[in-house]
Amino acid sequence: MTLDSLEKFIGFQGWSMFGITPFEKIRKNLKKHEKFFEEWIKKDYQADMDWLELMKKDRFHPERVLPGIKSVIVLGAVYSDSGAMVKRWRSDGGQPQPLHISSETREAQQMRHHRGVVARYARGKDYHKVLRKKLIELSDFLKSRYPQAQTYASVDSGPTADRALAEAAGLGFFGKNTCLINPPRGSYFFIASLMTDLELPETPEKPMPACGNCRKCIQNCPTGALAESGKLDARKCISYLTIENKGPIPVELRPKIGNRLFGCDACQACCPFNAVLPSEVLIGPLKPENGAGDSLDLKGILSIESDEEFAEKFAGTPLMRAKRRGLLRNACVAAGNSGNKELVSYLEALIRQESDEMLREHAGWAIDILNLNL
């Protein structure tokens, strides 16, 4: 199979970028990241995500999930529709020159006090399902030419170190915010990978810049979760606290969450590589108008009375990950930080109707904060 035929099919599917690398070439890279991961675990930075350590062997040893693996196709799909912007890159390969203020800043300025912000990646349909379907189509394309071929598809949920594979395949470099950054597309993109036992043509290597002395992501993290270069303390990370975390949000961190309802883009929004982004067409289901959108009315969230009502509103979107309990907890925190006294009655109604002690406590905290800000 030629690289040209693969590129045409991948382009037809709507992917923004791709790279192909032989498995033997990435063994060293995976070993480096495995050591980094072990050090991260020793610091307890994984919070209560114990499943990460349980998947360690498979994550960094893909031959365990696909014996005979020879090649990996790594693909990226942008999820941030930044609009038309002019690209201007430094001739020395350094950081791009920002021509516009961050679109995240504009969004924050436009948000009303009764709305909660949804992280960019979660505004459309659940990317796991959308992109996995495309990986299966790509796998079928390979098998139509090589019927005996074996493949293994991963979209950020299986036991696969997707970012490490993407780095090895030339899709980007690891930033100090732990995100993979791809000049000129920044870091607002999903990563998916398809392993195969076929020997596929390798894509040409591309020189990559680096963060250099820039520390904007570390300085702009609201909770100080970026403890050091390239290491994220999930126990403080707003994305973890509002999505993966099933318990209460620490009281001392609640004021720093602001009106973030689900996830956080702070360490990406301030990144110079995201200051100037090319205009790209998003894969249809990933567009905000096909999912939860960029923000949600806190009054509406606080009024969701059942799991069934929650599922009816958010089925097929990433917000299902938090479940009703988690999203209402987050809405209470956002309401407390809003300064909007109109939300007090909704919080009081939640306390009257809700038996869950964690939700009652978060609602009570929010009421106290709002009453203090008379």
The one catalytic residue in 156, 197, 294, 356 is 156
- Whether 374 has a pLDDT exceeding 70, the answer reads no
- Whether 21 has a pLDDT exceeding 90, the answer reads yes
CB 127 within 8 A of CB 317: no
Q: Which residue has the higher pLDDT, 228 or 19?
A: 19
Provide the CB-side half-sphere exposure for 324 (13 A, CA): 16
- Whether 230 has a pLDDT exceeding 80, the answer reads no
Q: Are strands 71-78 and 231-232 parallel, antiparallel or unpaired?
A: unpaired
Residue partners of 15: CB distance under 8 A and separation at least 6: 75, 76, 77, 134
d(CA 154, CA 352): 44
156 catalytic per annotation:
yes
pLDDT at 82: 52
Of 64, 51, 115, 127, the C-alpha closest to 319 is 127
Mean pLDDT on 50-61: 69
pLDDT at 318: 96
* % the chain with pLDDT above 90: 69
Count of residues making up the chain: 374
CB 337 within 8 A of CB 259: yes
pLDDT tens digits, one per residue of 140-173: 999 999 999 999 999 987 778 889 999 999 999 9
Would you list the domain boundaries of the chain? 3-372
d(CA 303, CA 308): 13
Residue partners of 111: CB distance under 8 A and separation at least 6: 117, 259, 295
Q: Which of 6-20, 105-119, 332-346 has the lowest mean pLDDT?
A: 105-119
d(CA 179, CA 121): 13
- Whether 360 has a pLDDT exceeding 70, the answer reads yes
